Amino acid sequence: MIDFKLDKLLSIKTTEEQRIFPADPHYNPYEPTPYAALEQLFSRYKLTAGDCLVDMGCGKGRVPFYVNYFFHTTSIGIEMNPALYEDALKNKVSYSKKARRRRGSVEFQCVLAQEYQIQSWDNVFFFFNPFSIQIFMTVLQHILKSGEMYPRTIDLILYYPSNEYVYYLSNHTQFKLIEEVQLDYYHERNDHERILIFRMEREGN
């Protein structure tokens, strides 16, 4: 019920059951992040209007719209599937009418995550287990290189993280785990139903 209510609040459509299976085995099927998970995450982790969140594998744009509406955060959705990208653009039209006075912006790009050109102001990256560890490693290398070229604190938010993601971040990057949000809206315990936040501090912080 919460998904339908928040879709209505944001004037978007993201609740329709739609299992899209990519042809490439390196990519996982589309599934929107539950609003309940977002509510629990952002009750403990606060964004600001000065942040820029990049959602890697954004689908129809639920996360970018959510953070812009509630935090005025600029957000960028990266989606490789043309049909989902078109749905995100349609949602943007209706959302823009609803939230015309919101600060920040919501943008979408139809591009592979590993081909996205990371900008110097991108400082928060959201992942809902969108692709294989091989692609994740490539994306992380791009983020790390951007952090070297334009020093800044960078956060990674991982919902339903794979063990491979966590191992790689913990053992092969400068990112450190700063927060774990154990989600409690499921009746049966699932150890993967959690959100991990990793941070790479700007040098000197």
Helices (H) and strands (E) in the chain, counts: 6, 7
Task: Flag the least confident range among 64-73, 124-133, 180-189.
Answer: 180-189
Whole-number mean pLDDT of the chain? 91
Give pLDDT tens digits for 17-69. 655 656 566 677 788 999 999 999 999 999 999 999 999 999 999 999 999 99
Question: What confidence category does residue 136 fall into, taking pLDDT thresholds of 50, 70 and 90?
Answer: very high
Does the pLDDT of residue 90 top 80, yes or no?
Answer: yes
Does the pLDDT of residue 109 top 60, yes or no?
Answer: yes
Does the pLDDT of residue 187 top 50, yes or no?
Answer: no
Q: How far apart are CA 26 and CA 202, in angstroms?
A: 31
Task: Extract the tokens encoding 152.
Answer: 């800044």
pLDDT score of 26: 63
Q: How far apart are CA 95 and CA 89, in angstroms?
A: 10
Judge contact between 37 and 128, C-beta under 8 A.
no
**Phi, psi (5° rounding) for residue 58?**
-80, -10
Does the pLDDT of residue 127 top 80, yes or no?
Answer: yes
Q: What is the mean pLDDT of residues 151-170?
A: 96
Judge contact between 113 and 78, C-beta under 8 A.
yes
The residue whose two tokens read 């992380």 is: 140
**Phi, psi (5° rounding) for residue 92?**
-65, -35
Tell the burial category of 116 from Cβ atoms under 10 Å away from its Cβ (0-12, 13-18, 19+).
middle
Does the pLDDT of residue 195 top 50, yes or no?
Answer: yes
Q: Which residue has the higher pLDDT, 154 or 191?
A: 154
**What is the DSSP secondary structure assignment for residue 186, as one 8-state letter?**
S
Mapping DSSP to helix (H, G, I), strand (E, B) and coil, where does residue 78 land?
A: strand
Judge contact between 87 and 12, C-beta under 8 A.
no
Q: How far apart are CA 156 and CA 177, in angstroms?
A: 9
Bridge partner residues of 131 (DSSP):
27
Task: Extract the tokens encoding 17.
Answer: 């059951």
State how beta strands 194-200 and 176-182 pair: antiparallel
pTM, entire model: 0.92
